[in-house]
Structure 1
Protein backbone atom coordinates (compact mmCIF):
# COMPACT_ATOMS: atom_id res chain seq x y z
CA UNK A 1 0.00 0.00 0.00
CA UNK A 2 1.22 3.48 -0.89
CA UNK A 3 1.76 6.06 1.87
CA UNK A 4 -0.53 8.54 0.16
CA UNK A 5 -3.46 6.15 -0.18
CA UNK A 6 -6.38 7.34 1.91
CA UNK A 7 -8.26 4.43 3.40
CA UNK A 8 -11.55 6.34 3.39
CA UNK A 9 -11.45 6.51 -0.41
CA UNK A 10 -14.22 4.21 -1.72
CA UNK A 11 -11.92 2.93 -4.49
CA UNK A 12 -9.04 2.18 -2.10
CA UNK A 13 -11.43 0.53 0.33
CA UNK A 14 -13.05 -1.65 -2.32
CA UNK A 15 -9.63 -2.69 -3.65
CA UNK A 16 -8.49 -3.72 -0.17
CA UNK A 17 -11.67 -5.64 0.59
CA UNK A 18 -11.48 -7.38 -2.80
CA UNK A 19 -7.80 -8.27 -2.30
CA UNK A 20 -8.58 -10.06 0.96
CA UNK A 21 -11.99 -11.41 -0.07
CA UNK A 22 -13.50 -9.65 2.94
CA UNK A 23 -17.26 -9.79 3.45
CA UNK A 24 -19.07 -7.53 5.88
CA UNK A 25 -20.48 -9.28 8.93
CA UNK A 26 -24.09 -8.42 9.74
CA UNK A 27 -23.59 -10.11 13.10
CA UNK A 28 -20.75 -7.71 13.95
CA UNK A 29 -22.66 -4.70 12.56
CA UNK A 30 -19.77 -3.57 10.35
CA UNK A 31 -20.06 -0.24 8.48
CA UNK A 32 -16.89 1.47 7.19
CA UNK A 33 -16.64 5.27 6.93
CA UNK A 34 -15.80 6.78 3.52
CA UNK A 35 -15.75 10.52 4.34
CA UNK A 36 -12.45 12.20 5.22
CA UNK A 37 -14.20 15.31 6.55
CA UNK A 38 -15.86 13.24 9.27
CA UNK A 39 -12.48 11.74 10.22
CA UNK A 40 -11.10 15.26 10.60
CA UNK A 41 -14.07 16.26 12.76
CA UNK A 42 -13.48 13.25 15.02
CA UNK A 43 -9.81 14.17 15.48
CA UNK A 44 -10.65 17.85 15.96
CA UNK A 45 -13.48 16.88 18.32
CA UNK A 46 -11.07 15.45 20.90
CA UNK A 47 -8.42 18.12 20.26
CA UNK A 48 -5.98 15.48 19.11
CA UNK A 49 -2.35 16.62 19.30
CA UNK A 50 1.07 15.14 18.58
CA UNK A 51 1.67 14.21 22.23
CA UNK A 52 -1.70 12.49 22.71
CA UNK A 53 -2.00 8.73 23.08
CA UNK A 54 -5.17 7.01 21.91
CA UNK A 55 -7.10 3.78 22.27
CA UNK A 56 -9.32 2.97 19.32
CA UNK A 57 -12.08 0.38 19.49
CA UNK A 58 -13.22 -1.25 16.24
CA UNK A 59 -10.66 -0.01 13.66
CA UNK A 60 -12.17 -2.00 10.78
CA UNK A 61 -9.66 -1.69 7.92
CA UNK A 62 -7.91 1.25 9.64
CA UNK A 63 -9.77 4.24 8.19
CA UNK A 64 -10.01 6.19 11.44
CA UNK A 65 -6.79 4.60 12.75
CA UNK A 66 -4.87 6.20 9.89
CA UNK A 67 -6.20 9.66 10.76
CA UNK A 68 -5.51 9.15 14.48
CA UNK A 69 -1.97 7.88 13.82
CA UNK A 70 -1.08 10.89 11.68
CA UNK A 71 -2.16 13.34 14.39
CA UNK A 72 -1.09 11.61 17.62
CA UNK A 73 1.90 10.02 19.33
CA UNK A 74 0.52 6.49 19.68
CA UNK A 75 -2.58 4.44 18.83
CA UNK A 76 -3.53 1.05 20.28
CA UNK A 77 -6.46 -0.29 18.25
CA UNK A 78 -8.64 -3.13 19.57
CA UNK A 79 -10.34 -5.26 16.89
CA UNK A 80 -12.55 -8.28 17.61
CA UNK A 81 -12.71 -9.66 14.02
CA UNK A 82 -9.75 -11.98 13.33
CA UNK A 83 -10.31 -11.62 9.58
CA UNK A 84 -9.41 -7.93 9.80
CA UNK A 85 -6.05 -8.40 11.56
CA UNK A 86 -4.00 -9.21 8.39
CA UNK A 87 -5.79 -6.39 6.54
CA UNK A 88 -4.83 -3.93 9.29
CA UNK A 89 -1.25 -5.25 9.15
CA UNK A 90 -1.23 -4.25 5.48
CA UNK A 91 -3.14 -0.95 5.53
CA UNK A 92 -1.27 0.44 8.54
CA UNK A 93 2.20 -0.94 7.74
CA UNK A 94 3.54 2.59 7.17
CA UNK A 95 2.69 3.68 10.72
CA UNK A 96 5.16 2.65 13.43
CA UNK A 97 3.05 4.30 16.13
CA UNK A 98 0.12 1.87 15.77
CA UNK A 99 -0.39 -1.41 17.62
CA UNK A 100 -3.29 -3.78 16.91
CA UNK A 101 -4.82 -5.91 19.67
CA UNK A 102 -7.13 -8.74 18.57
CA UNK A 103 -9.64 -8.92 21.42
CA UNK A 104 -13.23 -8.39 22.55
CA UNK A 105 -13.19 -5.08 24.40
CA UNK A 106 -16.03 -6.24 26.67
CA UNK A 107 -13.75 -9.00 27.98
CA UNK A 108 -10.63 -6.85 28.19
CA UNK A 109 -9.32 -5.13 31.31
CA UNK A 110 -8.71 -1.69 29.82
CA UNK A 111 -7.07 -0.30 32.95
CA UNK A 112 -4.55 -3.13 32.72
CA UNK A 113 -4.03 -2.37 29.02
CA UNK A 114 -3.46 1.33 29.77
CA UNK A 115 -0.96 0.43 32.47
CA UNK A 116 0.91 -1.87 30.07
CA UNK A 117 0.75 0.13 26.82
CA UNK A 118 0.61 3.73 28.07
CA UNK A 119 2.43 3.59 31.43
CA UNK A 120 -0.90 4.33 33.16
CA UNK A 121 -1.26 7.80 31.61
CA UNK A 122 -4.70 9.23 30.95
CA UNK A 123 -5.52 8.57 27.31
CA UNK A 124 -8.15 9.53 24.78
CA UNK A 125 -10.45 6.92 23.27
CA UNK A 126 -12.05 6.90 19.83
CA UNK A 127 -14.52 4.41 18.43
CA UNK A 128 -16.77 3.79 15.45
CA UNK A 129 -18.71 0.87 16.92
CA UNK A 130 -21.50 -1.43 15.78
CA UNK A 131 -24.59 0.31 17.11
CA UNK A 132 -26.02 -2.69 18.92
CA UNK A 133 -22.96 -2.80 21.22
CA UNK A 134 -22.21 0.94 21.60
CA UNK A 135 -24.08 1.63 24.84
CA UNK A 136 -22.79 -1.48 26.71
CA UNK A 137 -19.21 -0.59 25.75
CA UNK A 138 -19.55 3.08 26.76
CA UNK A 139 -21.13 2.10 30.10
CA UNK A 140 -18.36 -0.46 30.71
CA UNK A 141 -15.72 2.23 30.11
CA UNK A 142 -17.43 4.59 32.55
CA UNK A 143 -18.45 2.07 35.23
CA UNK A 144 -14.98 0.47 35.25
CA UNK A 145 -13.55 3.98 35.75
CA UNK A 146 -11.07 3.44 32.93
CA UNK A 147 -8.27 6.03 33.05
CA UNK A 148 -9.60 8.16 30.19
CA UNK A 149 -9.46 11.89 29.54
CA UNK A 150 -12.19 11.84 26.90
CA UNK A 151 -14.16 9.47 24.67
CA UNK A 152 -15.31 10.23 21.14
CA UNK A 153 -17.69 7.79 19.50
CA UNK A 154 -19.93 7.42 16.49
CA UNK A 155 -23.40 6.38 17.61
CA UNK A 156 -26.95 6.44 16.28
CA UNK A 157 -28.14 10.06 16.17
CA UNK A 158 -31.02 9.20 18.49
CA UNK A 159 -28.66 7.65 21.07
CA UNK A 160 -26.37 10.71 20.99
CA UNK A 161 -29.40 12.94 21.60
CA UNK A 162 -30.41 10.78 24.58
CA UNK A 163 -26.91 10.98 26.06
CA UNK A 164 -26.88 14.77 25.86
CA UNK A 165 -30.56 15.36 26.77
CA UNK A 166 -31.68 17.73 29.54
CA UNK A 167 -34.41 17.10 32.14
CA UNK A 168 -37.94 17.61 30.83
CA UNK A 169 -37.12 16.77 27.21
CA UNK A 170 -38.48 13.77 25.33
CA UNK A 171 -35.01 12.24 24.87
CA UNK A 172 -34.09 12.48 28.57
CA UNK A 173 -33.95 9.16 30.41
CA UNK A 174 -31.85 6.68 32.36
CA UNK A 175 -29.08 6.73 29.72
CA UNK A 176 -28.86 10.55 29.95
CA UNK A 177 -28.28 10.37 33.71
CA UNK A 178 -25.94 7.37 33.51
CA UNK A 179 -23.68 9.15 31.00
CA UNK A 180 -23.91 12.59 32.62
CA UNK A 181 -23.06 11.14 36.05
CA UNK A 182 -19.59 10.28 34.73
CA UNK A 183 -18.94 12.85 32.00
CA UNK A 184 -19.98 15.93 30.07
CA UNK A 185 -21.45 14.92 26.66
CA UNK A 186 -21.37 17.13 23.57
CA UNK A 187 -22.50 16.26 20.06
CA UNK A 188 -19.68 17.17 17.65
CA UNK A 189 -21.40 16.57 14.31
CA UNK A 190 -24.29 14.74 12.65
CA UNK A 191 -23.24 12.06 10.15
CA UNK A 192 -25.57 11.09 7.26
CA UNK A 193 -25.98 7.39 6.51
CA UNK A 194 -24.68 7.73 2.93
CA UNK A 195 -21.03 8.14 4.08
CA UNK A 196 -20.66 4.48 5.05
CA UNK A 197 -20.10 1.21 3.20
CA UNK A 198 -22.50 -0.57 3.50
CA UNK A 199 -25.05 2.17 4.19
CA UNK A 200 -26.75 1.79 7.61
CA UNK A 201 -30.48 2.36 8.11
CA UNK A 202 -30.14 5.46 10.31
CA UNK A 203 -28.18 8.70 10.53
CA UNK A 204 -25.36 8.85 13.06
CA UNK A 205 -23.71 11.39 15.31
CA UNK A 206 -20.21 11.87 16.69
CA UNK A 207 -20.37 12.62 20.40
CA UNK A 208 -17.54 13.56 22.76
CA UNK A 209 -17.70 12.56 26.41
CA UNK A 210 -15.29 14.52 28.64
CA UNK A 211 -14.75 12.27 31.65
CA UNK A 212 -14.99 13.89 35.10
CA UNK A 213 -12.27 13.26 37.69
CA UNK A 214 -15.14 12.65 40.11
CA UNK A 215 -18.81 11.89 39.31
CA UNK A 216 -21.05 14.92 38.79
CA UNK A 217 -22.96 14.22 42.01
CA UNK A 218 -21.69 12.63 45.21
CA UNK A 219 -24.00 9.85 46.40
CA UNK A 220 -23.86 7.57 49.43
CA UNK A 221 -24.50 4.38 47.46
CA UNK A 222 -23.78 4.33 43.72
CA UNK A 223 -25.60 1.06 43.11
CA UNK A 224 -28.72 2.34 44.88
CA UNK A 225 -28.52 5.61 42.93
CA UNK A 226 -28.63 3.76 39.61
CA UNK A 227 -31.44 1.50 40.87
CA UNK A 228 -33.46 4.63 41.72
CA UNK A 229 -32.73 6.08 38.26
CA UNK A 230 -33.74 2.82 36.59
CA UNK A 231 -36.91 2.67 38.69
CA UNK A 232 -37.82 6.29 37.95
CA UNK A 233 -37.80 5.60 34.18
CA UNK A 234 -39.13 2.02 34.24
CA UNK A 235 -42.71 3.13 33.49
CA UNK A 236 -42.51 6.43 31.62
CA UNK A 237 -46.28 6.94 31.59
CA UNK A 238 -46.52 6.54 35.36
CA UNK A 239 -45.75 9.21 37.91
CA UNK A 240 -42.40 9.08 39.71
CA UNK A 241 -44.20 8.02 42.90
CA UNK A 242 -45.89 5.04 41.22
CA UNK A 243 -42.81 4.04 39.22
CA UNK A 244 -40.53 4.01 42.27
CA UNK A 245 -43.03 2.24 44.52
CA UNK A 246 -43.24 -0.57 41.93
CA UNK A 247 -39.48 -0.80 41.37
CA UNK A 248 -38.49 -2.92 44.40
CA UNK A 249 -36.02 -0.46 45.95
CA UNK A 250 -37.12 -1.38 49.49
CA UNK A 251 -39.31 1.58 50.48
CA UNK A 252 -43.07 1.95 50.60
CA UNK A 253 -45.22 4.30 48.56
CA UNK A 254 -45.96 6.43 51.65
CA UNK A 255 -42.26 6.68 52.47
CA UNK A 256 -41.46 7.78 48.92
CA UNK A 257 -44.27 10.35 49.11
CA UNK A 258 -42.78 11.77 52.33
CA UNK A 259 -39.33 11.97 50.74
CA UNK A 260 -40.66 13.81 47.70
CA UNK A 261 -42.49 16.23 50.01
CA UNK A 262 -39.25 16.85 51.94
CA UNK A 263 -37.43 17.54 48.67
CA UNK A 264 -40.18 19.89 47.47
CA UNK A 265 -40.99 17.58 44.55
CA UNK A 266 -44.65 17.12 43.56
CA UNK A 267 -45.83 13.52 43.86
CA UNK A 268 -47.46 13.55 40.41
CA UNK A 269 -44.23 14.50 38.65
CA UNK A 270 -42.70 12.07 36.15
CA UNK A 271 -39.11 10.80 36.31
CA UNK A 272 -37.99 12.73 33.24
CA UNK A 273 -38.51 16.03 35.09
CA UNK A 274 -35.88 15.25 37.76
CA UNK A 275 -32.31 16.44 37.40
CA UNK A 276 -29.34 14.24 38.22
CA UNK A 277 -28.96 16.24 41.46
CA UNK A 278 -32.60 15.52 42.39
CA UNK A 279 -32.00 11.81 41.77
CA UNK A 280 -28.91 11.94 43.97
CA UNK A 281 -30.73 13.59 46.86
CA UNK A 282 -33.61 11.13 46.59
CA UNK A 283 -31.32 8.09 46.54
CA UNK A 284 -29.42 9.40 49.59
CA UNK A 285 -32.70 9.75 51.52
CA UNK A 286 -33.62 6.17 50.60
CA UNK A 287 -30.15 5.04 51.68
CA UNK A 288 -30.52 6.75 55.08
CA UNK A 289 -33.96 5.23 55.61
CA UNK A 290 -32.69 1.75 54.73
CA UNK A 291 -29.67 2.09 57.03
CA UNK A 292 -31.26 3.41 60.19
Structure 2
Protein backbone atom coordinates (compact mmCIF):
# COMPACT_ATOMS: atom_id res chain seq x y z
CA UNK A 1 0.00 0.00 0.00
CA UNK A 2 1.50 3.31 -1.12
CA UNK A 3 0.70 5.73 1.71
CA UNK A 4 2.33 8.67 -0.09
CA UNK A 5 0.15 8.37 -3.19
CA UNK A 6 -2.44 11.15 -3.07
CA UNK A 7 -5.11 9.03 -4.74
CA UNK A 8 -4.57 6.15 -2.30
CA UNK A 9 -4.61 8.48 0.69
CA UNK A 10 -7.80 10.22 -0.42
CA UNK A 11 -9.50 6.87 -1.04
CA UNK A 12 -8.60 5.57 2.42
CA UNK A 13 -9.67 8.76 4.18
CA UNK A 14 -12.92 8.96 2.20
CA UNK A 15 -13.80 5.35 2.92
CA UNK A 16 -13.35 5.97 6.65
CA UNK A 17 -15.18 9.31 6.58
CA UNK A 18 -12.08 11.13 7.84
CA UNK A 19 -11.68 14.91 7.61
CA UNK A 20 -8.57 16.86 8.63
CA UNK A 21 -8.61 18.61 12.02
CA UNK A 22 -7.13 22.11 12.05
CA UNK A 23 -7.28 22.01 15.84
CA UNK A 24 -4.90 19.04 15.88
CA UNK A 25 -2.63 20.57 13.25
CA UNK A 26 -2.97 17.59 10.92
CA UNK A 27 -0.81 17.67 7.78
CA UNK A 28 -0.02 14.21 6.40
CA UNK A 29 3.26 13.54 4.59
CA UNK A 30 2.89 12.63 0.90
CA UNK A 31 6.48 13.11 -0.28
CA UNK A 32 7.86 9.54 -0.55
CA UNK A 33 11.44 10.61 0.21
CA UNK A 34 10.80 12.19 3.60
CA UNK A 35 9.85 9.37 5.98
CA UNK A 36 12.66 6.97 4.98
CA UNK A 37 15.15 9.79 5.65
CA UNK A 38 13.61 10.54 9.06
CA UNK A 39 13.74 6.85 9.98
CA UNK A 40 17.32 6.40 8.81
CA UNK A 41 18.51 9.51 10.64
CA UNK A 42 16.39 8.88 13.75
CA UNK A 43 17.96 5.73 15.20
CA UNK A 44 15.27 3.45 13.78
CA UNK A 45 17.49 0.38 13.63
CA UNK A 46 18.23 -3.00 15.18
CA UNK A 47 18.38 -2.86 18.97
CA UNK A 48 16.13 0.20 19.15
CA UNK A 49 12.53 0.79 20.06
CA UNK A 50 10.98 3.95 18.63
CA UNK A 51 8.38 6.09 20.34
CA UNK A 52 6.42 7.95 17.68
CA UNK A 53 4.28 10.96 18.60
CA UNK A 54 1.32 11.31 16.26
CA UNK A 55 0.89 8.87 13.40
CA UNK A 56 -1.11 10.48 10.63
CA UNK A 57 -2.18 7.52 8.52
CA UNK A 58 1.00 5.63 9.40
CA UNK A 59 3.44 6.60 6.64
CA UNK A 60 6.31 7.36 9.05
CA UNK A 61 5.20 4.57 11.39
CA UNK A 62 5.65 2.03 8.58
CA UNK A 63 9.17 3.24 7.75
CA UNK A 64 10.14 3.07 11.43
CA UNK A 65 8.68 -0.42 11.75
CA UNK A 66 10.73 -1.67 8.78
CA UNK A 67 13.94 -0.74 10.60
CA UNK A 68 13.45 -0.76 14.39
CA UNK A 69 12.75 -3.73 16.64
CA UNK A 70 9.53 -2.15 17.88
CA UNK A 71 7.45 1.00 17.34
CA UNK A 72 4.98 2.33 19.88
CA UNK A 73 3.02 5.34 18.64
CA UNK A 74 0.95 7.68 20.78
CA UNK A 75 -1.94 9.11 18.74
CA UNK A 76 -4.58 11.41 20.23
CA UNK A 77 -7.13 11.19 17.37
CA UNK A 78 -9.46 8.22 17.90
CA UNK A 79 -10.73 8.56 14.30
CA UNK A 80 -7.35 7.38 12.99
CA UNK A 81 -7.40 4.02 14.81
CA UNK A 82 -9.41 2.06 12.20
CA UNK A 83 -7.33 3.64 9.42
CA UNK A 84 -4.09 2.59 11.12
CA UNK A 85 -5.42 -0.94 11.66
CA UNK A 86 -5.66 -1.12 7.85
CA UNK A 87 -2.50 0.74 6.80
CA UNK A 88 -0.20 -0.97 9.33
CA UNK A 89 -1.77 -4.42 9.10
CA UNK A 90 1.43 -6.06 7.80
CA UNK A 91 3.54 -5.02 10.81
CA UNK A 92 3.55 -7.13 13.98
CA UNK A 93 6.03 -4.85 15.77
CA UNK A 94 3.75 -1.78 15.96
CA UNK A 95 1.51 -0.75 18.85
CA UNK A 96 -0.81 2.27 18.81
CA UNK A 97 -1.74 3.95 22.09
CA UNK A 98 -4.75 6.28 21.84
CA UNK A 99 -3.74 9.00 24.31
CA UNK A 100 -2.54 12.61 24.58
CA UNK A 101 1.26 12.38 24.82
CA UNK A 102 1.31 15.44 27.09
CA UNK A 103 -0.71 13.46 29.66
CA UNK A 104 1.08 10.10 29.32
CA UNK A 105 3.33 8.60 31.97
CA UNK A 106 6.18 8.21 29.51
CA UNK A 107 8.59 6.66 32.03
CA UNK A 108 6.06 3.87 32.59
CA UNK A 109 5.29 3.55 28.88
CA UNK A 110 8.96 3.26 27.92
CA UNK A 111 9.65 0.69 30.65
CA UNK A 112 6.67 -1.45 29.59
CA UNK A 113 7.09 -1.14 25.83
CA UNK A 114 10.85 -1.07 25.30
CA UNK A 115 12.39 -3.19 28.05
CA UNK A 116 15.89 -4.21 26.96
CA UNK A 117 15.96 -1.84 23.99
CA UNK A 118 17.57 1.52 23.42
CA UNK A 119 14.88 4.14 22.76
CA UNK A 120 14.54 6.95 20.23
CA UNK A 121 11.72 9.40 19.60
CA UNK A 122 10.58 10.26 16.07
CA UNK A 123 7.68 12.51 15.10
CA UNK A 124 6.10 14.87 12.63
CA UNK A 125 5.01 17.39 15.27
CA UNK A 126 2.00 19.71 14.95
CA UNK A 127 3.35 23.26 14.74
CA UNK A 128 1.16 24.61 17.55
CA UNK A 129 2.59 22.28 20.18
CA UNK A 130 6.21 21.79 19.02
CA UNK A 131 7.98 23.54 21.91
CA UNK A 132 5.83 22.09 24.73
CA UNK A 133 6.33 18.52 23.46
CA UNK A 134 10.10 18.90 23.00
CA UNK A 135 10.58 20.46 26.43
CA UNK A 136 8.33 17.85 28.06
CA UNK A 137 10.49 15.09 26.58
CA UNK A 138 13.68 16.78 27.75
CA UNK A 139 12.58 17.89 31.21
CA UNK A 140 11.22 14.44 32.10
CA UNK A 141 14.75 13.04 31.79
CA UNK A 142 13.46 10.04 29.89
CA UNK A 143 15.81 7.15 29.07
CA UNK A 144 16.03 8.06 25.37
CA UNK A 145 19.01 8.41 23.05
CA UNK A 146 17.66 10.91 20.55
CA UNK A 147 14.67 12.99 19.45
CA UNK A 148 14.22 13.35 15.68
CA UNK A 149 11.31 15.60 14.76
CA UNK A 150 9.90 17.56 11.87
CA UNK A 151 9.00 21.10 12.87
CA UNK A 152 8.21 24.43 11.24
CA UNK A 153 11.33 25.77 9.50
CA UNK A 154 11.34 28.91 11.61
CA UNK A 155 11.20 26.78 14.78
CA UNK A 156 14.08 24.67 13.49
CA UNK A 157 16.18 27.79 12.99
CA UNK A 158 15.55 28.83 16.58
CA UNK A 159 16.16 25.36 17.98
CA UNK A 160 19.45 25.07 16.10
CA UNK A 161 20.64 28.63 16.77
CA UNK A 162 23.80 29.26 18.74
CA UNK A 163 23.18 30.14 22.38
CA UNK A 164 24.35 33.72 22.72
CA UNK A 165 23.05 34.80 19.30
CA UNK A 166 20.05 36.96 18.38
CA UNK A 167 18.27 33.94 16.89
CA UNK A 168 18.34 32.04 20.18
CA UNK A 169 15.36 31.74 22.51
CA UNK A 170 14.49 29.93 25.74
CA UNK A 171 13.87 26.73 23.76
CA UNK A 172 17.38 27.02 22.25
CA UNK A 173 18.90 27.09 25.72
CA UNK A 174 16.71 24.17 26.77
CA UNK A 175 17.75 21.81 23.97
CA UNK A 176 21.41 22.77 24.30
CA UNK A 177 21.30 22.19 28.05
CA UNK A 178 19.98 18.65 27.64
CA UNK A 179 21.81 17.65 24.46
CA UNK A 180 23.21 18.58 21.08
CA UNK A 181 20.90 19.66 18.29
CA UNK A 182 21.41 19.83 14.53
CA UNK A 183 19.24 20.39 11.47
CA UNK A 184 19.16 17.39 9.15
CA UNK A 185 17.22 18.64 6.10
CA UNK A 186 14.49 21.00 4.90
CA UNK A 187 11.01 19.88 3.82
CA UNK A 188 8.89 21.97 1.44
CA UNK A 189 5.24 22.74 2.19
CA UNK A 190 4.23 20.79 -0.91
CA UNK A 191 5.33 17.57 0.83
CA UNK A 192 2.10 17.52 2.86
CA UNK A 193 -1.62 17.07 2.42
CA UNK A 194 -3.14 19.52 3.06
CA UNK A 195 -0.18 21.80 2.37
CA UNK A 196 0.61 24.14 5.28
CA UNK A 197 1.43 27.80 4.73
CA UNK A 198 5.06 27.36 5.79
CA UNK A 199 8.02 25.09 5.07
CA UNK A 200 9.38 22.58 7.56
CA UNK A 201 12.69 21.07 8.61
CA UNK A 202 13.80 17.90 10.37
CA UNK A 203 16.09 18.25 13.40
CA UNK A 204 17.72 15.74 15.73
CA UNK A 205 18.60 16.20 19.39
CA UNK A 206 21.17 13.76 20.78
CA UNK A 207 20.70 13.69 24.53
CA UNK A 208 23.52 13.88 27.06
CA UNK A 209 23.41 11.31 29.84
CA UNK A 210 24.71 13.69 32.50
CA UNK A 211 22.97 16.90 33.48
CA UNK A 212 25.03 19.88 34.50
CA UNK A 213 23.21 21.06 37.61
CA UNK A 214 21.46 19.62 40.64
CA UNK A 215 17.65 19.82 40.57
CA UNK A 216 17.33 22.99 42.67
CA UNK A 217 19.97 24.83 40.65
CA UNK A 218 18.40 23.57 37.42
CA UNK A 219 14.96 24.88 38.35
CA UNK A 220 16.40 28.28 39.20
CA UNK A 221 18.48 28.30 36.00
CA UNK A 222 15.40 27.78 33.82
CA UNK A 223 13.44 30.43 35.75
CA UNK A 224 16.22 32.92 34.92
CA UNK A 225 16.28 31.79 31.27
CA UNK A 226 12.51 32.02 30.84
CA UNK A 227 12.33 35.40 32.58
CA UNK A 228 15.15 36.80 30.50
CA UNK A 229 13.67 35.69 27.18
CA UNK A 230 10.15 36.69 28.16
CA UNK A 231 11.39 40.29 28.06
CA UNK A 232 14.39 39.75 25.79
CA UNK A 233 14.55 43.37 24.60
CA UNK A 234 15.03 44.57 28.16
CA UNK A 235 18.33 44.36 30.02
CA UNK A 236 18.79 41.36 32.29
CA UNK A 237 18.61 43.66 35.30
CA UNK A 238 15.21 45.01 34.25
CA UNK A 239 13.67 41.71 33.15
CA UNK A 240 14.78 39.75 36.23
CA UNK A 241 13.72 42.55 38.58
CA UNK A 242 10.23 42.79 37.05
CA UNK A 243 9.55 39.04 36.69
CA UNK A 244 11.56 37.38 39.47
CA UNK A 245 11.96 40.29 41.87
CA UNK A 246 15.76 40.00 41.92
CA UNK A 247 17.35 43.32 42.99
CA UNK A 248 19.04 45.11 40.14
CA UNK A 249 22.17 45.69 42.23
CA UNK A 250 22.60 41.93 42.59
CA UNK A 251 22.28 41.47 38.83
CA UNK A 252 24.76 44.30 38.18
CA UNK A 253 27.27 42.80 40.62
CA UNK A 254 27.03 39.34 39.05
CA UNK A 255 27.47 40.73 35.53
CA UNK A 256 30.42 42.89 36.62
CA UNK A 257 32.16 39.91 38.25
CA UNK A 258 31.80 38.05 34.96
CA UNK A 259 33.27 40.95 33.00
CA UNK A 260 29.92 41.78 31.37
CA UNK A 261 28.13 45.09 30.92
CA UNK A 262 25.32 46.16 33.26
CA UNK A 263 23.17 46.62 30.15
CA UNK A 264 23.65 43.03 28.95
CA UNK A 265 20.61 41.24 27.53
CA UNK A 266 20.06 37.51 27.89
CA UNK A 267 20.60 36.81 24.20
CA UNK A 268 24.21 38.00 24.57
CA UNK A 269 25.20 35.26 27.04
CA UNK A 270 26.39 31.85 25.86
CA UNK A 271 25.53 28.62 27.68
CA UNK A 272 28.47 28.62 30.09
CA UNK A 273 27.86 32.29 30.93
CA UNK A 274 24.17 31.63 31.58
CA UNK A 275 24.99 28.78 33.96
CA UNK A 276 27.63 30.88 35.73
CA UNK A 277 25.27 33.88 35.94
CA UNK A 278 22.44 31.78 37.37
CA UNK A 279 24.76 30.25 39.99
CA UNK A 280 25.91 33.71 41.13
CA UNK A 281 22.30 34.90 41.48
CA UNK A 282 21.43 31.87 43.62
CA UNK A 283 23.99 32.83 46.24
CA UNK A 284 22.78 34.79 49.26
Fold agreement, TM-score > 0.5: yes
Contact 1:41 1:189 in 2 (8 A): no
Alignment partner of 1:18 is 2:14? yes
- State the Cα distance separating 1:163 from its structure 2 match: 0.9
Which of these residues, 106, 109, 130, is aligned with residue 105 of structure 2? 109
Q: Following the alignment from structure 1 to structure 2, what is the Cα–Cα distance between the partners of residues 245 and 168?
A: 21
Alignment partner of 1:208 is 2:208? no
- State the Cα distance separating 1:7 from its structure 2 match: 1.0
5 Å matches for 1:126-165? 126-165=122-161
Give CA-to-partner distance per residue, 1:237-257, whole Å, 9 cap, x none. 222222222222x43111111
- State the Cα distance separating 1:122 from its structure 2 match: 3.3
1:114–1:167 distance in 2 versus 1, CA, 3 Å: closer
* Alignment-derived partner of residue 166 in structure 1: 162
Q: Following the alignment from structure 1 to structure 2, what is the Cα–Cα distance between the partners of residues 243 and 24?
A: 41
Q: Unaligned 5+ residue runs, structure 2?
A: none
5 Å matches for 1:1-292? 5-119=1-115, 121-215=117-211, 217-218=212-213, 221-248=217-244, 250-289=245-284
Contact 2:146 2:204 in 1 (8 A): yes
| Residues paired across the two proteins, number | 283
Provide the TM-score with structure 1 as the length reference: 0.93
Q: Following the alignment from structure 1 to structure 2, what is the Cα–Cα distance between the partners of residues 120 and 17?
A: 37
Secondary structure, aligned partner of 2:150: strand
CA RMSD of aligned residues (A): 1.4
Contact 2:43 2:120 in 1 (8 A): no
Secondary structure, aligned partner of 2:95: strand
Q: Following the alignment from structure 1 to structure 2, what is the Cα–Cα distance between the partners of residues 19 and 196?
A: 20
- State the Cα distance separating 1:92 from its structure 2 match: 0.4
Give CA-to-partner distance per residue, 1:227-286, whole Å, 9 cap, x none. 1111222222222222222222x4311111111111111112221010111111111111
Instruction: Name which of structure 1's ranges 80-89 and 128-137 shifts more when overlaid on structure 2.
Output: 128-137
- State the Cα distance separating 1:62 from its structure 2 match: 0.3
Provide the TM-score with structure 2 as the length reference: 0.95
Contact 1:114 1:120 in 2 (8 A): no
Contact 2:135 2:171 in 1 (8 A): no
Contact 2:232 2:266 in 1 (8 A): yes
Q: Following the alignment from structure 1 to structure 2, what is the Cα–Cα distance between the partners of residues 169 and 251?
A: 24
Give CA-to-partner distance per residue, 1:9-65, whole Å, 9 cap, x none. 212211111111110011111000001211122112224323321111101110100
Q: Unaligned 5+ residue runs, structure 1?
A: none
Secondary structure, aligned partner of 1:154: strand
Contact 2:235 2:266 in 1 (8 A): yes
Q: Following the alignment from structure 1 to structure 2, what is the Cα–Cα distance between the partners of residues 185 and 173?
A: 14
